[in-house]
Amino acid sequence: MKAADSQIQGALMVQGTTSDAGKSTLVAGLCRLFARKGVKVAPFKPQNMALNSAVTLDGGEIGRAQALQATACYLAPHTDFNPVLLKPSSDTGAQVIIHGKALTTLEANAFFGPQSRGYKAHALTAVMQSYQRLTAQYQLVLIEGAGSPAEINLRQGDIANMGFAEVANCPVIIIADIDKGGVFAHLVGTLALLSETEQARVKGFVINRFRGDISLLQSGIDWLENHTQKPVLGVLPYLHDLHLDAEDALIPQSNSVTSSPVNSAERTKLKVLVLVFPRISNHTDFDPLRLHPQIEFSYLSLADNPLQSVIQADLIILPGSKNVRADLAFMRQLGWDKLVSKHLRYGGKVIGICGGYQMLGQHINDPQGIEDTAGCEQGLGLLAITTELMEHKTLTQVSGYLHLNGQQASFCGYEIHCGQSTSTLSGLATPIELTTASFAPKSDGQISADNQIFGTYIHGLFDQPDACQLILQWAGLEQADLIDINQIREQQLNRLADVLEAHLDVDKLTGVIA
């Protein structure tokens, strides 16, 4: 560690010209880069809107990207890393989670319209409480913005980008994605739409996802630095096959890890299909399946041919959902319920996780309108459970044993759901034995009498190599290989940090931290 690194004390905020410009990835890489140098560093995102979340050790939930960034810092996830999380439940409404706990559901006008003042004052207070705790505990806080700071219709009362940076008095760098085209217009245009004090706060730019000969870009960089009087701190290459937890966007198709020692080109593959609901949540559950060398992985969405997809599948997975009854209605509207039934008649296997587990049951009752309007929906009738949605959300990290086909595997995972499900038929196998120290041993989930359907509330089972292997064997892949997503994540974070160290002016970047 350099002496300068040991003296770092302050914060740096990464904002982007657009969504998906690379903010989350850059912050994660910087977290690992500085952590490897011995700097005590923590991630922070004031306000996040995402359906992928992680359960924290202090009993709350934060955005998946901040959990990844915590891992990059060698830290356990904490609610202070993402004090405000918005989880969309409809096209215009979202659940509001502050310091890890769900408070209410608000419509878009309450976030961004004339009525938003009360919410934003409350949210800003929570944001600054978390930020002050982090700056007191850590040498460096790396902050991720949301979307773009140049959304002029959302500037009033902003707490996610420059509004936060101004209150916290922290420096900002802006990242732009050159692969989408128009990178200089994005950077100059974003800067032009900021106020004078906000422009002064911007200390430099990072150009992301560059392919080709860097010398061909140099004249543009020279012009940009001369025009804005701000440095380009680095040009990052396009990183093929970078496998890190997605903040929210689906990664469309199977993409096995190229470094896998297994050459499975001539081996039997298991065809896995995940249904994409409009409000799909925690789809990072399936990253180990996407990357598994023996799995042919695909998503089924509105635009796909469902009949062809289901015919080819060995295993269909119903994922989590932020609005289970609405997504179940969507499923029926497209006829996916009939396709799942046909899949089962032909001997296929089905897994339901969390909201998908609830859909497989007899009824889903929401008497208080927790996720939507109050009411009761008939389930798919494939498992002998009924579910009632309750105001109190279960948020807990769990451990225990998975039992399938007379074998068992240990696991660690998490629960994040409002529903409580009750078995309507005795004698059916429960695949999950929870032994978490914080509560008495209990069981979870259900296996159908014909052993074709497996439902559980537990997220993260596929993250555990032994448990994942056991599930794949149950699904029909008898010689399933072990794949460790946690090891892959570590390899990819170190790879990312290496790239940043090679292509960023780290000394100049360190110099702008305040």
Side-chain half-sphere exposure of 402, counting CA atoms within 13 A = 29
The total number of residues shown for the chain amounts to: 514
Q: For residue 511, count other CB atoms closer than 10 A to its CB.
A: 13
Strand-strand pairing, 349-353 and 453-456: parallel
User: In sequence order, what are the residues at sequence separation of 6 or more whose Cβ sits closer than 8 angstroms to the Cβ of residue 269?
Assistant: 294, 295, 296, 477
Strand-strand pairing, 270-275 and 315-318: parallel
In a domain, 264, yes or no: no
Active-site residues, by number, are 354, 459
Residues of the chain with pLDDT under 50: 1, 3-4, 254-264
Task: Encode pLDDT of 45-86 as tens digits.
Answer: 999 998 889 999 889 999 999 999 999 999 999 999 999 999
pLDDT at 452: 98
Shared domain for 176 and 297, answered yes or no, is: no
Q: Which CATH number is 237's domain given? A: 3.40.50.300
What is the distance between the alpha carbons of residues 233 and 507, in angstroms, rounded to a whole number? 10
pLDDT at 51: 87
Say if CB 267 and CB 223 are below 8 A apart: no
Token pair recorded at residue 70 = 């915590």
Shared domain for 18 and 73, answered yes or no, is: yes
Shared domain for 230 and 106, answered yes or no, is: yes
Say if CB 399 and CB 436 are below 8 A apart: yes
Shared domain for 290 and 219, answered yes or no, is: no
Total structural domains in the chain? Answer: 2
pLDDT at 406: 94
What is the distance between the alpha carbons of residues 341 and 348, in angstroms, rounded to a whole number? 9
Task: Encode pLDDT of 94-106 as tens digits.
Answer: 889 999 988 766 6
Indicate the Cα dihedral angle 391, 395, 400, 406, nearest 10°. 50
Model pTM? 0.90
Q: Give the residue numbers spanning the domain of 203.
A: 3-242+491-512
DSSP string, 78-117: -GGGSSEEEEE-SSSEEEEEETTEEEEEEEHHHHHSTT-H
In a domain, 461, yes or no: yes
